[in-house]
Chains A and B, each alone.
Chain A
Amino acid sequence: MTDVAVPFRGPGSESAISAIAKPRIIPAILFIAGVALLLASPFLPWAVVEGTGIARNAFDADLPWLLGGSDMGAGEGGSFANGWLILIIAALCAAVGCPLLAMRRMAAIPVAAIGAMLALCVYFTEYRFEHQYGLVADALPGEVSMGEGWWVALVGSLLLVLTGVTARIWLKGASSVAGAGGPVTLDSLSGDRDRHDRESGVRALVFLAALASVLVSGLIVWSLVREAFVYMFNIDWGSVWSTGWFPRQGFFDIKTLIVSTLLVNGVAMLIATPIGLGSAVFLSEYAKPRTRRILKPTLEVLASIPSVVLGYFALQWISPNVVQAIDGWFGQDAHLGNLAAAGIGVGILSSPLMASISEDAMKAVPNSLREASAGLGSRKVTTTLRVVLPAAVSGLVAAFIVTSSRAVGETMVVFIAGGGGDTAVYTHNIFDGSLTMTAAMASLASGTDNVVGEGLTFESLYFVGLLLFVMTLAMNLVADRFVSRVRNKY
C-alpha cells in the first residue's frame, strides 16, 4: 500500500503511529503459552491412583474410568477430549491463530471460540471421570484424582480464551486510533477491515446454516435409500404381497399397511375437512375481529396438542364413547383399539392445519371481489359460496392435500389407538385393529430393545420409511404447485 499524501497531522498523530507500531506482545505471549500448554498436557498424568504410583496420561485407554471410552469394560479410546483430540485441536488452533494474529485480523473470535470449546471439553471430562470412577471405585486400589495434565489442559484452553479477548481489545484500540487522525493511507480509505471481515464472516456462517437444511435432506434420502435398497435387492417379493404384516416371521405384506393407511386417512379427512373448512370459512368471512381474536388462538391451542395426547384420547374416550356406540349400526363389534377411533383422532389432530391453510387461501382472495359481489346485491352466503370459495379453490385443494399428507405421516395416534400389535392381518374394515405404515414402523422399533428378527426386519423399517417419504413428498410437491398458483393469480 502506498502512502497517500497526508492532508493533516493532528496533535495526536505521533502517539497514534506509535500505537500502531507497538508489537502485539501480550496476545502473542498468551497465545504461544496456551498452545504450548495444550500440546504438553496429554503427555502429563491425567489420572492418578493415590498411594500406588499408578498414573495414566491421556493416550492410555486401558483404564475404563479414564476419560471416556463409550463402554465401561471396553478398552477403546475415549470419545471426549482424549489425547489425540486435544493435540489435533491445539495444532489446528496454532495453524489458524498464528497467521490471523500476524495479520492483525479478526483473530479474536476463532481463537476465543476454540479456547472456550476446549475448556468445555476438558471440563466435561471431569464429569465423566467422576461419574465413571464412581461406578468402579471398589475395583481400584486407592483414591483416584485428576492429575496435572487435566489442569494444564484447562489452563491452556483458558489462556486461548484470554488471547482472544486481549487481542480483541488491542485491535479495537488500533483501529480507533487509525480513525482519529493518523496518516491516511489507501488502507484507511478502504474502510474498517474488521467490518469487512465481520460482514463476510457472518455471510459465510449464515450460508452454511442454510446449507445445513440441504444436508439434512441429503442425509434423509441417503439413509433411507441405503437400507431400503438392501431390502429390495434381497427380499423375496412374494412375501411383500401375502396375507399380513409379520415382519419378524419374514412376511411383509405391504398392501395390509397401505390399505389401513388409506382407511385411517379417509376417516381422518371425513372429520378434518368439515371441521377445518367450516372453521376457516367462519373465521375468514363471518367472524367479527373480536371473535376472531378469541377463537383463532383457541384453535391454535388445539393445533399444539401433542399427538400422544390425542392417541390417549382416541383410545380411552373416542373408542368407547363414539366408535363402540355406533359399531352396532354397521353390524360390527369393535375392540377398544380400532382403525376408526385412530382415524377420528388423526382427523381431530389435523383439522387445525386444514383450518389454517384454507383460511390463508381465503384471506388471499382480494376484497375487491367480495365488494363487487356485494355491490351486485348478493347475500353473504352467495358471496362466500359463489365468489370467495371458487376464487380460493387452488388453496383449498392444497390445504386438503397437505392435511392428508400430514395424516398419512401421523404415527402416535395410530400406534396407540389403532389396535395393531406387532403384527397385522390384512383387513379393510375400519372397525378392526390394524397397522398403518407409520404404526408398523413404530411397533417394529419399540417391540424389542433393538430392531431384530428374521433376516430383513431392520431393513424393512427403511423400506416402509422410504415408501412413506416418497408418498408425502409427492403430495407436498403437488400442494406446493397449487399454492403457487394462488400466489401467481393475485
Chain B
Amino acid sequence: MRLSRVFDDRAREAVADSVYKRSRDVRGGLFKVALQAALLMALLILGVLIADVLSDGWSLLSGQLGDFLSGGLRSRSDDPLLGVFQGIRGSLWIAVFVILLAFPLGIGAAIYLEEYAPKSRLTSFIEVNIRNLAGVPSVVYGLLGLAIFVNGMGDLTGGKSVMAAGLTLAVLVLPIVIITSAEAIRAVPTSLKEAGYGVGATRWEVIRTQILPYAAPGILTGTLLSLSRAIGEAAPLILIGAVTGFLGGQSGLLDVAQLQERFTAMPIVITRWVQQSGRDTGFTAAAAAAIVVMLVVVLLLNSGAIGLRNHFEKKRR
C-alpha cells in the first residue's frame, strides 16, 4: 500500500516533468541536423556542378552559340569552326534507334510479363534475367556491341557506325524500359481490368483500351528517363569506336546514308575535349559549353518525365 503510493508519486512526478518541463532532445536534434546536412550536401554538389560548368563554358555560350552549335570536331581549340554539330547529329540518330527499337520491345515485354505471362519457371527466369541485365555495367554492353553489331553484323551496320551505336544503346536501355513500364502496368487497378473482361473483351482489347491508356503516363516517364540515359551514355560508344579525332563528311542532320558511316556523339565529344584540355586549355571551355548543351537536353527530358509523373500521381490520388 505504502510502496505503491511512493511509486505512484514518483511516476506522477516523472509524467508531470515530461509534460510540463521542456527537455531538449539533443541527440534527436543532432541526428536531424546530420540528416539535413547529408541532403544539403547532395543539393550543394548539384549547385556547384552546374555553376562550375556554366562559368567555364560561358565565354563560348554567350558569344558564339550559333557557330558552336554548327561547328565540328577540330584539333585546336581556337579554331572558329570548333563545335558540336557532329555530336548532336550522332546523339539524335542514337535517340531515333532507341525510340524505334527499345520502346516497342520494352513495352511489349512489360505487357507480356504483367498481363500474359503464366506463373512458370520461364517467367521468373525472364524476370530475374531482366533485373540482372539492368545491373550490367554499360561498358559490357559496349563489348556486346563491338562483338555483335560492329563485327558480327558489319555488313548491315557498316561496322563502327551510328547504326551499331544506336542498336547497342537500344539494347542497353531495354531493361530499364521494361522495368519502368512493368511498374506502370502493375499500378493499373484490377477493378478496371475485371470490368473490361466482364463485358467480354479479350485480353488484348482490355490492354489496348484500359491498361495502356491508364499506364501511359508511367510508361512515358520511364521511356523519357531511359532516353536521357541513352543520350548521356558514353562508355559503350567508346568501346564501339566512336570517332574522337577528326570526322570528315558533313552530311546533313537527317541524311539517312550516314547511318552506316563513322560517327561521334555528344558525350564522346565532351570526353575528347576534356582529355585534350591537358594540352590545350582552351578545350576546357569547349567541353563545358558542350556539357551545357547536353545537360539542357537531358535535364529537360528528365524534368519533363518527373513532372509528368508527379502530375498524374496527384491527379489519381
Q: Which residues of A contact B (CB under 8 A)?
A: 70, 79, 124, 127-128, 131-132, 195-196, 198-199, 202-203, 205-214, 216-217, 219-220, 223-224, 226-227, 274-279, 281-283, 286, 293, 295, 297-302, 304-313, 315-317, 336, 348, 351-352, 355, 379-382, 384-385, 402, 405-406, 408-412, 415-416, 438, 441-442, 445-446, 449-450, 461-462, 465, 468-469, 472-473, 475-477, 480
Contacts and interface: CB of A to CB of B under 8 A. Distances in A.
B295 A305 contact: yes
B199 interface: no
B42 A351 contact: yes
B34 A216 contact: no
A355 to B, nearest CB: 8
Chain A interface secondary structure, helix, strand, loop or mixed? helix
A384 B109 CA distance: 39
A309 B295 contact: yes
Contact of A402 (B135, B155, B270): B135
A219 B46 contact: no
A124 B53 CA distance: 41
Contacts of A295: 39, 43
A306 B53 contact: no
Nearest to A469: B140
5 contacts: A195-B202, A223-B143, A297-B306, A305-B298, A306-B295
Interface residues of B, number: 104
A415 B310 CA distance: 36
A308 B274 CA distance: 9
Nearest to B29: A381
Interface in B213-237: 225, 228-229, 231-235
Contact of A415 (B106, B229, B233, B271): B271
A219 B307 CA distance: 36
B312 interface: no
A315 B38 contact: no
A277 B38 contact: yes
B238 interface: yes
Contacts of A305: 46, 49, 232, 295, 298
Contacts of B1: none
Contacts of B117: 210
Nearest to A476: B135
Nearest to A221: B144
A355 B46 CA distance: 15
Given A275-B38, A304-B225, 9 more contacts: A203-B112, A219-B147, A224-B143, A293-B310, A312-B53, A312-B288, A381-B27, A411-B139, A445-B238
A411 B137 contact: yes
Contacts of B165: none
A281 B28 CA distance: 13
A217 B256 contact: no
B83 interface: no
A212 B235 CA distance: 23
A333 B140 CA distance: 34
A233 B53 CA distance: 47
Nearest to B104: A209
A207 B52 CA distance: 48
Contacts of B287: 312
Nearest to A298: B43
Contacts of B235: 307, 411-412, 415, 438, 442
Interface in B97-134: 104-109, 111-113, 116-117, 125-126, 128-133
A278 B37 contact: yes
B108 A209 contact: yes
